[in-house]
């Protein structure tokens, strides 16, 4: 197996996008099979632990205080509510619990409250992920010490298109947070959003930025824009679904060992479109009826889909250990 590359040129990536669809999917499927069980998906459940009233102006987001989206605001949730949600997610089969807060960045006081949540969720035998905005290197180290498994912070789009979507923090700010997370030894979860009106070159550039990081993010969420009324991006022309599938395939080829997550927007996708995304190398999803504020297919729908496709959900470590020592 060859070592993953970190020197992809834009031309090479554009040449992948330009392949005939069948050739591209075949290449992606070969890469996928060389590194992963092709019939297994990792499932993460999301919970918004602090909702709305965010100071940032991200053009896609329901939670920005600058957009009129009629979203109910909520302060940081009490610990017991978070643990109850994580337990329910575990019972439905999720092996990772991802907690998101509508902050530009957490204060050190906020961080200590979130750490209590991380420790309680780990206590349930689940992997933990949080997405809290920008972090300082010291905050990233504090999260690592507390046992956090993954930190999600997306590039969102290409550096060139970025200013059309967000003005209150820079693309470089995002790279700095990701470097702090990586250097603290936390697994990086980073990807972006397609369907925001970006060009094909922007999609290729975003994937190039992700693939040419010093280490590939362990997890790469590819979101389809969920159009939210009242946000500046509401009404954007929809992306050709096959172009979305191609982007998943290219992500798989560029980052062969990363989990590529078919993320937001599944509620608006047909089962057949999702099946194509799995064929293109997606091997992770957000699972449960809500993302942070938007709807997601319910667990029942997903279980039926996995059944139809013969996909198995990755287990928690505890379940995997039990299966090893006690048999089926």
Query: Can you say whether the dihedral through the CA atoms of 286, 289, 291, 295 is positive or negative?
Result: positive
Nearest approach in angstroms of CB 30 to ligand SAM is: 29
Residues 204 and 10: beta-carbon distance below 8 Å: yes
Three-class SS of residue 219?
strand
Chosen from ligand SAM, ligand DTB, ligand SF4, none, partner binding at 64 (C-beta under 5 to 8 Å by type): ligand SF4
User: Does the active-site annotation cover 129?
Assistant: yes
CA distance 321 to 280: 30
* Pick 294 or 305: Cβ nearer ligand DTB: 294
The answer to the question of residue 133 lying near ligand DTB (CB under 6 A) is no
> Footprint of ligand DTB on residues 289-308 (CB under 6 A)?
291-294
Say if residue 270 is exposed, middle or buried (CB neighbours under 10 Å; 0-12, 13-18, 19+). exposed
Residue that has been written with the tokens 């109850």 in this structure: 84
Alpha carbon distances (Å) from 328 to 73, 90, 324:
45, 19, 8
Residues 211 and 257: beta-carbon distance below 8 Å: no
Among 223, 258, 274, 296, binds ligand SAM (CB under 6 A): 223
> Footprint of ligand DTB on residues 148-167 (CB under 6 A)?
152, 154
Where are the extended beta strands (E) located within 85-185? 96-101, 127-131, 150-152
* Pick 286 or 306: Cβ nearer ligand SF4: 286
CA distance 307 to 277: 16
**Kind and range of the H or E element at 320?**
helix 317-326
Site string for ligand DTB, 63-102 (x = CB under 6 A): -------------------------------------x--
Among 93, 217, 221, 297, binds ligand DTB (CB under 6 A): 221
The answer to the question of residue 139 lying near ligand SAM (CB under 6 A) is no
The answer to the question of residue 269 lying near ligand DTB (CB under 6 A) is no
The answer to the question of residue 42 lying near ligand DTB (CB under 6 A) is no
User: Does the active-site annotation cover 261?
Assistant: yes
Residues that bind ligand SAM (CB under 6 A): 60-61, 100, 102-103, 131, 133, 153-154, 156, 193, 223, 225-226, 228, 264, 292
- Residues serving a catalytic function are 54, 58, 61, 98, 129, 189, 261
């Amino acid at each position: 197996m060859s070592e993953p590359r970190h020197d992809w040129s834009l031309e090479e990536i554009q040449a992948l996008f330009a392949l005939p669809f069948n050739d591209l999917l075949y290449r992606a499927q070969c890469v996928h099979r060389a590194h992963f069980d092709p019939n297994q998906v990792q499932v993460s459940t999301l919970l918004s632990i602090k909702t709305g009233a965010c100071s940032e102006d991200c053009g896609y987001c329901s939670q920005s205080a600058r957009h009129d989206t009629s979203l109910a605001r909520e302060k940081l949730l009490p610990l017991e509510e978070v643990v109850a949600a994580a337990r329910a997610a575990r019972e439905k089969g999720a092996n990772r619990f991802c907690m998101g807060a509508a902050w530009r960045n957490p204060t050190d006081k906020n961080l200590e409250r979130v750490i209590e949540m991380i420790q309680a969720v780990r206590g349930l035998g689940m992997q933990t992920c949080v997405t809290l905005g920008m972090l300082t290197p010291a905050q990233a180290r504090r999260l690592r010490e507390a046992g956090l498994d993954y930190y999600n912070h997306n590039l969102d789009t290409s550096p060139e298109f970025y200013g059309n979507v967000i003005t209150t923090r820079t693309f470089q700010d995002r790279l700095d947070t990701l470097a702090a997370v990586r250097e603290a030894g936390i697994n990086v979860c980073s990807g972006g959003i397609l369907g925001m009106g970006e060009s094909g070159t922007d999609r290729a550039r975003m994937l190039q930025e992700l693939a040419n990081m010093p280490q590939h993010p362990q997890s790469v969420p590819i979101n389809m824009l969920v159009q939210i009324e009242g946000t500046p991006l509401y009404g954007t022309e929809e992306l050709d679904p096959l172009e979305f599938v191609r982007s998943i395939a290219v992500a798989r080829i560029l980052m062969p060992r990363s989990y590529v997550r078919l993320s937001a927007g599944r509620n608006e996708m047909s089962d057949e479109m999702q099946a194509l995304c799995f064929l293109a190398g997606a091997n992770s999803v957000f699972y449960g009826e809500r993302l942070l504020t938007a709807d997601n297919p319910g667990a029942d729908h997903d279980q039926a889909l996995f059944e139809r496709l013969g996909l198995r959900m990755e287990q928690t470590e505890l379940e995997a250990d039990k299966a090893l020592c006690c048999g089926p």
